[in-house]
Amino acid sequence: MGTASDIKLIDENGLRIDGRSPTELRPLKIETDVLERADGSAFIEWGGNKILVAVYGPREAYPKHTQDIEKAVVKARYNMSAFSVDERKRPGPDRRSVEISKVISEALSAAVMVEQFPRAQIDVFIEVLQADAGTRIAGLTASSVALAAAGIPMRDMVVGCAAGKVDGKIVLDLGKEEDNFGQADLPMGILAKSGKIVLMQMDGDMSQEEFEQATALIMDATKRIYEIQREALAGKYRALALERSGE
């Protein structure tokens, strides 16, 4: 979260700096099967975020000491490319990307039927090509689609979504200026069907009432995002059906 500033983020009509209402998501688009060599892949455009996800596996976990004899290990690696942000990002992992990789791995593990693949590893490479706030939840949303596109058995889809506080108001899905100059950001990962929370972090401060309001906005948006995930996958299966019927 940024420092307090004179920038007005919500106007007299209650609209945000990019013209959205408090409960509106930024434009969101997901495409599957964008990479040939991956077992599953997805490309997400969410606001100004552009993120590519490639899934490989399940395959035998290596090195061997990383194997779990009872279940597969889901290993997400979140990476921000040097050109994805305003100021060149130094290539390679940093504290932030290690943290994001860890929380995304944990969230995805809750959705994948890991018990079906003992000793295996499922790799999820998340490459942020353009960042515009909310990359962890966009990466998580796309990862879930890429895993399903890879045909990996899942008990549920994971939806990522955030809400936050700007100019003292609770709003859905913070944009870049809101992230920089707002008072709080609450990214969450939710299992679409069960509603279970599998990722929750918070930057900044909210009262309990504000937190509940933010959570309600996220839960409501989860349904909309899940629909977009399903449509992306339906597109894939429609394309597959056409291939099989030889059209």
Query: Site residues (CB under 6 A) for ligand CDP?
Result: 85-86, 89, 96, 131-136, 176, 179, 187
H-only helix segments in 25-134: 95-109
- Minimum CB separation of residue 79 from ligand CDP in Å reads 12
Structure token pair of residue 71: 């279940």
Instruction: Give the residue with the Cβ less far from ligand CDP, 123 or 179.
Output: 179
Map residue 27 onto helix, strand or coil.
Answer: coil
- Minimum CB separation of residue 7 from ligand CDP in Å reads 16
> Helix %, strand %, coil % for the chain, to 5?
30, 30, 40
Instruction: Give the residue with the Cβ less far from ligand CDP, 146 or 186.
Output: 186
Residue 162 CB-density burial (10 A; 0-12 exposed, 13-18 middle, 19+ buried): buried
- Minimum CB separation of residue 176 from ligand CDP in Å reads 6
- Minimum CB separation of residue 14 from ligand CDP in Å reads 24
Instruction: Give the residue with the Cβ less far from ligand CDP, 135 or 229.
Output: 135
CA-to-CA distance for 15 and 8, rounded, in angstroms?
11
- Minimum CB separation of residue 179 from ligand CDP in Å reads 5
CA-to-CA distance for 72 and 60, rounded, in angstroms?
9
- Minimum CB separation of residue 133 from ligand CDP in Å reads 4
Instruction: Give the residue with the Cβ less far from ligand CDP, 67 or 180.
Output: 180
DSSP conformational letter for 75: E
- Minimum CB separation of residue 235 from ligand CDP in Å reads 26
CA-to-CA distance for 173 and 17, rounded, in angstroms?
13
Phi and psi angles of residue 206, each rounded to the nearest 5 degrees, phi first? -140, 150
Instruction: Give the residue with the Cβ less far from ligand CDP, 34 or 85.
Output: 85
Instruction: Give the residue with the Cβ less far from ligand CDP, 96 or 238.
Output: 96
Contacts of 7 (CB under 8 A, 6+ apart): 177, 181
Structure token pair of residue 198: 């599998």
Instruction: Give the residue with the Cβ less far from ligand CDP, 39 or 185.
Output: 185
Which sign does the torsion angle of CA 137, 143, 148, 153 carry? negative
